[in-house]
Each structure stands twice: as structure tokens, then as C-alpha cells.
Chains A and B, each alone.
Chain A
């Protein structure tokens, strides 16, 4: 990788503009919106499209080995601004900006009747720009700045409808839960800096490779940084914010789940794997966090009644599979995780946008109130169908190839426990995916559906759906290209047994969903009524394994109680508070003098 000194922007436009352009454009959104709503929408879409074009122009650089620009930043302190252009960063930048463009385009139709759109587009551009900045950052400190920007944007966007208490609560929850992880990340990277004197990924890789960092320090900082990644990527036990994040507009959910936020954690773990990957404990923790999250997410998705929550739990589960693949520690596993990230991004964006069309039309997210929508909305139907097929891993859809890569790598690694658990996740995935699909589009039409004038979504919404539908069918063709870009030897075709096992898992999951939700024999409600253990399991799953209640009782109530104690000293009048402050300073001064 070549290192270049960039004293100015000259000659390096794409490297800079791919992330700077959306960030600069944020300032201009209010200006442009003075020209009217249409101008604002097209401006935002154009900016993201341009950023995506810049990301495309970076591909040749990454293919020829990558480069790293660096520039003095806070020269006194010795920190440097580093822009890293390599396979991983360009790959992620492409996903972020291309999907971001489609989602912004879709917003034109979906958010048409909303107010506060200037705020919306500002935050979306800031979100996309910071996410690109995050993946292009060449050192941990710079990445951390963008990391926090991504976090704050997501919680603001989740709470976009700030007059709805649930939305505000969900935004706050996302902020606080990811904060737990972020504190870990911050401590981890400070620990690393204190012991190595550098934040740069390059230098850290060389030092860790040469065994210059003490094993204990390496493991501790690695686990703390992993905690940050778990918060962002909604992994067990910090996954609780993601299902609630559904309170935001659907476009925001699509952004968070497909293009930005949750990918940051997987990206970070992939980025630091060369640094910490020598420790088998660290890899083991990554893999087990992944598989536990995958199982939790996949099982909860099979019980919930909210169509967006199905997709949210599915995200937790798919991200878990990516962590699992990273935890294998082989180059093949590393590639499989990133390929699955791309695949998940494509079919999850499609799923959310299709679900958004439904919600837009019906005004509800409850799947029991949907049903029989198949004939009435052909584009949405096909889009959702393709997303379900890709999610559950039906060939030749993208999900099949990427999930199979992971399962094949697990098989190669020879860990039969993880292999079997991953197949179990596969079973659950195909069950919940088809369950949601049958519930929404088949069965009898509900009263709500009968009462509404059903029509297809406007063109601005249909075009992104169409493009993404094509993408989930054809993206497997880019596997060779992706492996070249990421600098990994393309994995060989797995043995037929692997394919057979994963297709078998698919079928095992599909059959009960088909019987219960399409043929209605046995009827799901009767099963719940007659079998005690089914209803008990269902209640546990609907409760989300009680994580929310547990956190509420242990952490939230403690903080609230402490808060109400402290509240007594808040008088609410400036003068009195100031006298209190003066008194405090006096006491501190006396103590200092006495010492």
C-alpha cells in the first residue's frame, strides 16, 4: 500500500469528496430548501449519487493495491488525518452510497406528506457522509469521531417524529445502549494508544504482527473495541435498541439496517481482525457473540407480529452470522462476513422499502391486520417476495451464496458445534421469513385491507424497489469481483453436501411456515391454545427473552432513583444555583489549601 502525503486537496478529489461532499452538503440543505421541496429532495439525491460515483472511481485504486493519504491534523499534537483507500473501505463506501442513493430517492415518495423534511435530509446526508468517513478513516481516533456522528444521527432520525413519545423513547434508547458499547470502544482505543503510541491501523497491524504489543493489553483492548462494535451492530447483549428503533420512518430503518449504522460494527471488527486476530480467545468471543445473537434474533423474529420487527430481529440474526464468520479467523471467513454484509444490505434494504410501501398504504405495522395483498400491489409483492427469498437463502438469490460461504467456512474450520448452530439459525430464518410473507400477502383479506383503496406506490418508490429486486437476483455474479477487491482468493465451490445441508435447513424451516400460515392446517392460534409449551415459548419470544424488563429493573430504575435524589438540589432558579456553585468552589479551594 502506497503512502502519500497530501498537503492539499489537489489530485485527490475522489478520496476526499466521497465523504466530505455529503458532509458539506448538509449545510446547504436549508439553503436549497428555500427553493422548494422538490429542489431539496433532488439536491440530496444528487449529492449522494455523486458521492457514490466518487466511490466507484476509487475502485481501480483499491484494485491496484490501495493507497493511504495522510495530512497533518492538529500538527502540535502529532495526529494525522489519514484516508485509507483499500478494498475493504471502498467496498463499504460503495454499499453505503449506492444504497443511500436508492433510499434517498425512495424518501421522495415515502416522506412526501411529512413536515420537518429539511431536518430529515440534513440528518440523512450527515448520516451517509459520516458512515463513509468512518470506513475511509485510516486511524482509530478519526474513525471514532465518525463513529459518534453516525450514532447521534441514527438516534435523531429514530426520534424523527418527536411528538410521538414512543419515538423519542426509542431514539433515546438507541443512544444510551450504543453509548455503553462506545464507552468500551473509547477505553479500548485509549488503552491501545497509551501502550503503542499510535492510532493508525497500519502501524498497529505491523506492531501486533511483530509481537510488539503485550498479549494482555492486546486482548483487553481488543475485547473493549469489540464491545463498541457489539453496541453499534446490535449484538447480544446490547441488541435491545434495534427492535425499538422501528419507531422511526421506514426509510430511516432501511438506512440504519442496510446502508449505515449496523454495518459499522461488522466493519470495525473486520478492520481490526489483522490486529487482534492472533488471539484465539478474541476470535472465540467474536464467534460466540455472533452465534448467540443470531439465534436470539432468528427465534424472536418467528414470534413477533410487527412486520418491521421481523426485519429488525432478522438484522440482529444476520449480523450475528457475520460476526460468526469473522470469528472463524480465516481469510475465507473474513471474506464471507463482508460478502454477507453486502448481501444483507441489499435484501434488507429491499425488505424495508417494500414493507414501507405497505405501511405507507395501510397505516399499520401489525401483520394480523394485513393479508391478501398479493394481487393488489404487484411491485411491492415481488419486491417483498424477492427479499424473503434472499433472506431465507433460496438459490440463486444473493442470500443463498453469502450464507453458504459462511456455512462452508464453518465446516472447513471444523467446529461442529458452531456449524450445527448456524444450520439451526438457517432453519429459523426460513421459518420467520416465509411466515411474514404468507401473513402479509396471503390468507383472507382483513377488514382493514378491504376498507382501503389499495393502489401501487408512486414511481419514486417503485424504481428503487425494482433496482434492488434486480440486485438481489444478480449480485451473486459479483462474488469474484468482490473477492478481488477485498484482496482475498476467491473461495472454492463448497462441497455438494454443504449445499444439501443448507437447502435441507431451508426446507425444514419452510414446511411449518407453509402448513401453518398458508394452508392454515394446523391453525397457529389453535396450536397456541392447545399446546401449553408452544404458548409458553411464544410468550418468552414475544417478551424478547425479558432483556428489556431486566435492563429496566436493574439499570434504568437505579439511574432514575439516583436522578430524583439529585433533583432535590436543582432549585430551578439561576441565582440560587450560582450561590451553590460558588459555595462548592469555596469548599474545593479550602480543601486544596488544607492539603
Chain B
């Protein structure tokens, strides 16, 4: 199925774009946006792999909804952490926040 392949390639592309964004960004808010792109890529992959002959199956849809809602809550949590990080360090640059390393 050519449709499924297109979806999967898009998903892979989104996944790597998101990772590249995470690797290069100097702003935590942008890092979360990149992370969101990764998650959407994963969700898309999940969706495409659950495609049956008559469109998406019930099981894959249920899993997809679950995955999306978990992703949303993770992002909300990450955003709240970013606010705390900003209050604590006064910066959003992840390269400068290395205190946990030591």
C-alpha cells in the first residue's frame, strides 16, 4: 500500500526532524516544540501501522487516543517544569543548565 508507506516515511521524517530540533535548539520552549514533533511522528507511525483494509482498526484508534492524551499530559508537565527552571536559573538555555551533572 503506497498510502501507508507515505505515512510511514512522513512519520520517520517528523521523528528525525524533532530529534534534530532537540539537538540544536538553545531554548527549552523550542525543545518542547521539537519534542512535540517527535511525538506526532510516533503517533503517525502508530496510526499508519494500525491501518487495516477498511481504514484504521478500533484497537489502533484506541491506542492512538491513549498515546495522544499521554503525550499531551507529558507536554503540560514539561511546560510546567520549564517555568520552574526559568524561575530557578533565570535562563532557558539548556546548555547552561548543567548543575544536575555535578
Do A76 and B62 touch across chains, with their CB atoms under 8 A apart? yes
Chain A residues numbered 420-469 whose CB sits less than 8 Å from any CB in chain B: none
Interchain CB contact (< 8 A) of B22 among A76, A570, A572, A578: A578
Q: Is A574 an interface residue, CB under 8 A from the partner?
A: yes
Interchain CB contact (< 8 A) of B101 among A571, A575, A581, A585: A571
Do A582 and B20 touch across chains, with their CB atoms under 8 A apart? yes
Interface of B is mostly: helix
A330 to B98, alpha carbons, bound, how many Å?
61
A582 to B34, alpha carbons, bound, how many Å?
14
The size bracket of the interface on B is 10 to 19
Chain B residues numbered 50-102 whose CB sits less than 8 Å from any CB in chain A: 58-59, 62, 94-95, 98, 100-102
Do A581 and B19 touch across chains, with their CB atoms under 8 A apart? yes
Q: Is A115 an interface residue, CB under 8 A from the partner?
A: no
Q: Is A564 an interface residue, CB under 8 A from the partner?
A: no
Do B59 and A76 touch across chains, with their CB atoms under 8 A apart? yes
Which chain B positions have C-beta within 8 A of A579?
23
Which chain A positions have C-beta within 8 A of B25?
575
Decide yes or no: A575 and B24 within 8 Å by CB, A76-B59, A76-B62, A582-B19 being known contacts. Answer: yes
Interface of A is mostly: helix
Interchain CB contact (< 8 A) of A582 among B23, B95, B98: B23
Q: Is A8 an interface residue, CB under 8 A from the partner?
A: no
CB distance from B82 to the nearest CB of A (A): 12
CB distance from B62 to the nearest CB of A (A): 6
Do A573 and B95 touch across chains, with their CB atoms under 8 A apart? yes
Which chain B positions have C-beta within 8 A of A585?
19
Chain A residues numbered 46-81 whose CB sits less than 8 Å from any CB in chain B: 76
Which chain A positions have C-beta within 8 A of B37?
none
A570 to B98, alpha carbons, bound, how many Å?
11
CB distance from B93 to the nearest CB of A (A): 10
Chain A residues numbered 310-355 whose CB sits less than 8 Å from any CB in chain B: none
Chain A residues numbered 546-582 whose CB sits less than 8 Å from any CB in chain B: 570-575, 578-579, 581-582
A76 to B57, alpha carbons, bound, how many Å?
11
Which chain A positions have C-beta within 8 A of B19?
578, 581-582, 585
Interchain CB contact (< 8 A) of B23 among A76, A570, A572, A575: A575
Do B23 and A573 touch across chains, with their CB atoms under 8 A apart? no
Do A573 and B58 touch across chains, with their CB atoms under 8 A apart? no
CB distance from A327 to the nearest CB of B (A): 42
Do A575 and B59 touch across chains, with their CB atoms under 8 A apart? no
Which chain B positions have C-beta within 8 A of A574?
22-23, 31, 94-95
Which chain A positions have C-beta within 8 A of B94?
573-575
A578 to B22, alpha carbons, bound, how many Å?
7
Decide yes or no: A76 and B58 within 8 Å by CB, A572-B101, A574-B94 being known contacts. Answer: yes
A569 to B71, alpha carbons, bound, how many Å?
27
Which chain A positions have C-beta within 8 A of B16?
582
A570 to B24, alpha carbons, bound, how many Å?
17
A582 to B100, alpha carbons, bound, how many Å?
23
A444 to B72, alpha carbons, bound, how many Å?
64
The digit string for B1-38, where 1 denotes a CB below 8 A from any CB of A, is 00000000000000010011011110000010000000
CB distance from A174 to the nearest CB of B (A): 25
CB distance from B102 to the nearest CB of A (A): 8
CB distance from A18 to the nearest CB of B (A): 28
Decide yes or no: A572 and B98 within 8 Å by CB, A578-B22, A578-B23, A582-B20 being known contacts. Answer: yes
A371 to B63, alpha carbons, bound, how many Å?
63
User: Taking each of A578, A579, A581, A585, which has the highest tally of chain B beta carbons within 10 Å of its own beta carbon?
Assistant: A578
Which chain B positions have C-beta within 8 A of A582?
16, 19-20, 23
Which chain B positions have C-beta within 8 A of A571?
101
Closest to A580 in B: B23
A581 to B62, alpha carbons, bound, how many Å?
29
A572 to B102, alpha carbons, bound, how many Å?
9
Do A573 and B98 touch across chains, with their CB atoms under 8 A apart? yes
CB distance from B39 to the nearest CB of A (A): 15
A76 to B63, alpha carbons, bound, how many Å?
10
Give chain A's interface residues, CB within 8 Å of chain B.
76, 570-575, 578-579, 581-582, 585
Given contact pairs A76-B59, A575-B22, A579-B23, a sample of 11 additional A-B residue pairs in the complex whose CB atoms are under 8 Å apart: A76-B58, A76-B62, A571-B101, A572-B100, A574-B94, A575-B94, A575-B95, A578-B22, A578-B23, A581-B19, A582-B23
**8 A-B Cβ contacts within 8 A?**
A76-B62, A570-B101, A572-B102, A573-B95, A574-B95, A578-B19, A579-B23, A582-B16
In order of increasing CB-CB distance, the 4 nearest A-B pairs are A572-B101, A578-B23, A574-B94, A572-B98
